[in-house]
Structure 1
Amino acid sequence: MTNTMWMRGVEWLAAASADPRACKWEWDHGEGVALLEAGRFWDVLSVPDRLGLLTLDLLWRPGLPVPGPTLVDTAAGRVGFFLPPQPSDGWIGAGLRYATRGSWVTVPPPYRPARSLEWLVPPDGTGALHAPGALEEALQQANGTLAVLTPLCAPHR
């Protein structure tokens, strides 16, 4: 990612803050993270890390657009997919958490990790997000794969 893309990503992400300047200051001089409200520019679908990493792998294929911003929280064992705000919460499934208007998301700056948070796909500043249909399809495929693999990987007694 070029410096220009990072700068655009910083501006785009900070725009979700009530005070973008304070948000950027926190990233550079404060705790290194900012608390941003979901639901205005984006929502976040958070899934367990195994499911999320496999889903991202399925989305990252030749011929497909680069996936939207994706954040991993290694301490919580979760992957967050940034997608367009949706008026309904149609995301239902075991372990899924959907952050929309009224929810807050802790994010590091696009150019470096902070605490246990790291961008797997940082925002590039264009406003590109995950397409809900493609994300749902990849999640279903990943769920199916994990359902098959889990019994195979279980310890034998």
Structure 2
Amino acid sequence: MWNTAWMRSVEWLAAAAIDPRDCKRQWDHGTGTALLEAGRYWNVLSVPEELGLHALNVLWYDPLRTPGPVLRHSKARRVGFFLPPGPDQQWIGAGIRHVGKGSWIPVPPPYRDTGHLEWIIPPDGRGTLHSPDRLEAALHTATSTLPLPETDPHEARTDSTIRCGTIT
């Protein structure tokens, strides 16, 4: 039923909660989600769903690295990539939201979906996260494969659409 990987995954996620025991109770007996703080163990890069799913597809093509955790919010039509924490990066792009220290996100348990939240790739319990550089490259590739918006067919898409840089 429960293997060691699932247990590690639950413990890793719950560690981001103020009260890990209460977090696990909420997952099992409460709403099924818990609010977890970003910025300590991970940050989240939230992108529009279509872009996120295309980028994830690009990330899967690297046979040497398994992508980190990816959370989907079907109602908001967004995909969240879990990244290493740190205030030293700024993400720029249309529809891009970087969730870091001081922010909270609703998270379901890694072993089941809850309402509109589902894990596309649940945490592995070892702390594997997405590399910001690899994710940025995947988002660029995904951006180039998406159709241009119908509102302005003359607008050219450039590689500078999404950018991650170090804040100095």
Same fold flag (TM > 0.5): yes
CA distance in 1, matches of 2:21, 2:41: 17
SS of aligned partner of 1:32: coil
For 1:84, the equivalent position in structure 2 comes to 84
Cα deviation, 1:58-82, whole Å, max 9, x if unaligned, reads 0012523110000000000000000
Q: How does 1:1-157 map to 2 (within 5 A)?
A: 3-147=3-147
Q: Percent identity?
A: 59
CA contact 1:38–1:104 (8 Å) conserved in 2: yes
Change (3 A) 1:142 1:132: same
TM-score under structure 1 length normalisation: 0.91
Deviation of residue 147 (structure 1)?
4.0
Q: C-alpha root-mean-square deviation of aligned residues, in Å?
A: 1.5
- The 8 Å contact of residues 89 and 98 in structure 1, kept in 2 or not, is answered as no
Q: SS of the counterpart of 2:76?
A: coil
Structure 2: give runs of 5+ residues left out of the alignment: 154-168
Code of the aligned partner of 1:104: W
More helix by share: 1
When the two structures are superposed, what TM-score results if normalisation uses the length of structure 2? Answer: 0.85
1:70-97 deviations in Å (ceiling 9; x for gaps): 0000000000000001213421000001
Unaligned runs of 5+ in 1: none
Counterpart of 1:123, as a letter, is P
Moved more, 97-106 or 139-148: 139-148
* Deviation per residue, 1:111-143 (Å, 9 max, x gap): 000010000000010000001100000001101
